[in-house]
Amino acid sequence: MCGILGLFDPDVAVAADLYRGALALQHRGQEGAGLVTWEGRFYLKTGRGLLSEVFQSVDLGELRGHFGLAHLRYATAGTGAADEVQPFMQSFPFGLALVHNGNLTNHDALRDHLASGSWHLNSASDSEALLAVLADYLAQNDVRQLGPADVFRAVARTMDVVEGAYSVVTLLARHGMLAFRDPHGIRPLVIGRRRQAWAIASESVALESLDFERVRDVRPGEAVFVDRAGVLHEAQLRTPQPAHCVFEYIYMARPESILDGKSVTDVREHLGRKLAAHFEVAVDLVCDVPSSAEDVAMEFAHEAALPYRKGIRKNHYSHRSFIAPNQTARLGAVGLKFHLSRSVIAGKRLAVVDDSVVRGNTARALVARLRKAGAAEVHLVSAAPPVRYPCVYGVDMSIPGELIASRLPDPENIGRYLGADSMQYQTVPDMFAAVEGLSVCAACFTGEYPTRLCDEQLQKLGASRSEAQAPLQVPQPAVKVNLPFSPVPG
Residues annotated in a binding site = 245, 292, 354-355, 391, 441, 444
**Relative orientation angle of helices 126-138 and 107-116, to the nearest 10 degrees:** 50
From 1, 2, 226, 392, active-site residue: 2
- Measured in whole angstroms, the distance separating CA 354 from the mean position of its chain's CA atoms is 16
Q: How many CB atoms lie within 10 A of CB 428?
A: 15
Q: Which residues contact 263 (CB under 8 A, 6 or more apart)?
A: none
Could you tell me how far CA 226 lies from the centroid of its own chain? 26
Cα 247–Cα 187–Cα 153 angle in degrees, nearest 5:
160
- Residue among 387, 394, 442 at smallest CA distance from 187: 394
Q: What is the DSSP string of 122-158?
A: SSS-HHHHHHHHHHHHHTTS-GGG--HHHHHHHHHHH
Cis before 390? omega within 30: no
- Binding residues for Mg(2+), by number, are 292, 354-355
Q: Confirm whether 287 is a catalytic residue.
A: no
456's CB contacts (< 8 A; 6+ apart) are none
Which parts are annotated binding residues for [4Fe-4S] cluster? 245, 391, 441, 444
Measure the CA dihedral 293/298/300/303, to 10°: -160
The whole-angstrom separation of Cα 338 and Cα 49 is 21
CA–CA–CA angle 258, 259, 263 (5° rounding): 40
Residues 6+ apart with CB under 8 A from 336: 315, 318
What's the CA gap between 115 and 132, in Å, rounded? 11
Beta-ladder partners of 69: 6, 36
Q: How far apart are CA 392 and CA 77, in angstroms?
A: 10
Do the Cβ atoms of 157 and 138 come closer than 8 Å?
Answer: no
Q: Quick check: helix, strand or coil at residue 11? A: coil
Beta sheet of 377-382, edge-to-edge order: 285-288, 349-354, 377-382, 422-425
Q: How many residues does the chain have?
A: 490
Residues 6+ away with beta carbon under 8 Å from 333 = 318, 319, 320, 321, 324
The contacts of residue 137 (CB under 8 Å, 6+ apart) are 153, 154, 155, 157, 158
Write out the catalytic residue numbers. 2
